[in-house]
Structure 1
Amino acid sequence: MNYRHAFHAGNFADVLKHAVLAQCFAHLKKKDKPFRYIDSHAGIGAYDLTSSEAQRNPEWEGGIAKVMASAKPADVAEALAPLLQAVTAMNPDGLKDYPGSPEIAARLLRPTDRIQLCELHPADAKTLDNRYKRDARVKVEARDGYKALPGLVPPREKRGVVLIDPPFEHRDEMAHMAEAVRAALPKWPNGTWIFWRPLKDLWASERFDVGLAEWLFEEELATPEKLLRADLWVRDIESEGKLAGAGIVVVNPPYTLEGQLLALLPWLAETLAQGEGAGWRLDGCATDESLSVEEF
């Protein structure tokens, strides 16, 4: 496994993904009852933006750095507030580090909440465990998150968020993600599930999105209003070179999330644009224009 998120930490895709995740945490915290965060591909937790990896091709400069430096309308500031709370708390003297999903959880969750992290890469799992070994809320498992998920849900708290954010090293990653969904989601249909995927193979992405929607509806695990897709691209998606677009699909999103994303996505597309063709979309996956999917 040669993928290292340190090369991409804090880029436009992270900003969207982590803004959504942080808003889910903020929503769950409105109730006193504890909840659990489950991360299937946790990485190392946090990233040094001064490292050689991050400096080699500093994608964060066109992502989180630009977001923090730009003027924000009130509704955009509200949508970004939980994420920026975690980022600024980690960087009291200027932007030098970026919190991955585990660190965002560690900084935003309460003492009564719990954090379950899976990471298959041996070195990364060790780094992750060392980072949080003194945090009683956190449990790190050096195992395949896909295989672990069915045994991790439903959590004792009965409330929470699952993030499935694989590195997409394999051509059939979408199929692996779909297999994990089929095995785990029916055991906890009331949880909030967030799926991240790049917009490189557009047919595969659409097949996953629409297949997920149709399967959820057929199995009566969700209704259309319980499914939300948010995508962002910073230049023409079909352009050559580094990643141009990415997004998330959320099952059981907070009721406030759609409105927040309606404010945030146009602003991100304009602020983080890297060339012609930048844009965004927000829908429920299953639209009249969606391709027909026979099997998920």
Structure 2
Amino acid sequence: MLSYRHAYHAGNFADTLKHLTIIAILRHLCKKSGPLHYVDTHAGAGRYDLQDAKALKTHEFNEGIGKLWGRQDLPPLLDDYLQVVARLNPSNNLHYYPGSPWFAAHCLRDQDKLALCELHPTDFPLLREVFRGDMRVRCFHEDGYQRSLALMPPPTKRGLVVIDPSYEVKTEYQTVVNHLQALHKRFATGVFALWYPVVDAGRLQQLEYSLRQTGIKRIQLFEFGLTGNHDLPGMGSAGMVVINPPWTLREQLESTMQWLINAAYPDSDAYWRYLEIAGE
């Protein structure tokens, strides 16, 4: 199904967690001089206009990037995140919000490569235009599952794969687990980051169970929500599952997200959750 458009949700609280995770992973991987490969299975449009009718219909960005824009007291990871967003908004007015590929491109170096997959016929031309002229980037108007698997293992044997589907189809929760297994089989030392929404507690429990059943080691789960009541309609929480996370990731995200909740969501039901799905 191709009805999902991220333009309605760009810059929301779930994007904050997703993009903080991507930045933290890539900054750590870039500490070594060897080149990296970044692969995005559902890259979207690359950047989003927050003054567009789609964004203004939901105003979801007010509960995400809107909580942080203009603040001067941010801890390092959030400050890094905000500086990347600011590059799209040189006038200091919050007009545009980057997609995951933009964050990745601004973390990576000249020697690194990006492979961006997007199947949506409207979003793909926008994605390609955003990265026109960037010789590090290849955009694929293809199924991201198939293309990302074909790219494994990358020549450098170092990299990050981000999997961020829309979950429009209920079977997607099992599809992503199957895909992680296939990727890990070909590239066992790679870092894999899976985004998921919390719209049904039962599906989340099944996702966690299915991940444990894969037998893959070193799986961590990070979850951030505006409410812990998963019986409410809509997406009140979202998370990231990371395979082979940098050893610094848990502490870095935990301290950052606790600061964020205390500073930007006081007197709310916002919460943070960490779970080790599989250890060494």
Using the size of structure 1 for normalisation, the TM-score is 0.88
* 1:186 aligned residue: 185
* 1:55 aligned residue: 56
Aligned equivalents of 1:264, 1:247: Cα separation in 2 = 15
Tell me, yes or no, if the aligned pair for 2:40 and 2:115 is still in contact at 8 Å: yes
Q: 1:109 to 1:286 in 2, by over 3 A?
A: closer
* 2:153 aligned residue: 154
* 1:283 aligned residue: 275
Cα shift readout 1:226-250 (whole Å, capped 9, x = no counterpart)? 2211101102332534321001010
Tell me, yes or no, if the aligned pair for 1:39 and 1:102 is still in contact at 8 Å: yes
* 2:76 aligned residue: 78
* 2:87 aligned residue: 89
Aligned equivalents of 1:49, 1:121: Cα separation in 2 = 20
Shift of 1:280: 1.3
Shift of 1:275: 7.5
Tell me, yes or no, if the aligned pair for 2:220 and 2:277 is still in contact at 8 Å: yes
Shift of 1:15: 0.2
Shift of 1:130: 2.1
Cα shift readout 1:83-126 (whole Å, capped 9, x = no counterpart)? 22211122121211111011112222111100001111122112
Alignment of 1:21-170 (within 5 A): 21-70=22-71, 72=73, 77-94=75-92, 95-170=94-169
Alignment of 1:236-275 (within 5 A): 236-273=228-265
Matched residue SS, 1:153 = coil
Aligned equivalents of 1:186, 1:237: Cα separation in 2 = 36
* 1:204 aligned residue: 203
Aligned equivalents of 1:23, 1:256: Cα separation in 2 = 9
Any unmatched runs of 5+ in structure 2? Answer: none
Q: 1:159 to 1:199 in 2, by over 3 A?
A: same
Structure 2 residue identity aligned to 1:14: D
Any unmatched runs of 5+ in structure 1? Answer: 288-296
Shift of 1:82: 3.0
Shift of 1:58: 1.1
Matched residue SS, 1:26 = helix
Q: 1:103 to 1:6 in 2, by over 3 A?
A: same
* 1:14 aligned residue: 15
Shift of 1:259: 0.8
Cα shift readout 1:198-250 (whole Å, capped 9, x = no counterpart)? 01122222222232133234xxxx2xxx2211101102332534321001010
Structure 2 residue identity aligned to 1:124: D
Aligned equivalents of 2:81, 2:70: Cα separation in 1 = 14
Structure 2 residue identity aligned to 1:109: L
Shift of 1:71: 5.8
Shift of 1:34: 0.9
Q: Which moved more, 1:272-281 or 1:248-257?
A: 272-281
Matched residue SS, 1:68 = coil
Tell me, yes or no, if the aligned pair for 1:18 and 1:101 is still in contact at 8 Å: yes
In the comparison of the two structures, how many residue pairs are matched?
A: 277
Cα shift readout 1:146-168 (whole Å, capped 9, x = no counterpart)? 12222111111111100000011
Aligned equivalents of 1:235, 1:42: Cα separation in 2 = 27
Percent of counterpart pairs with the same letter?
36
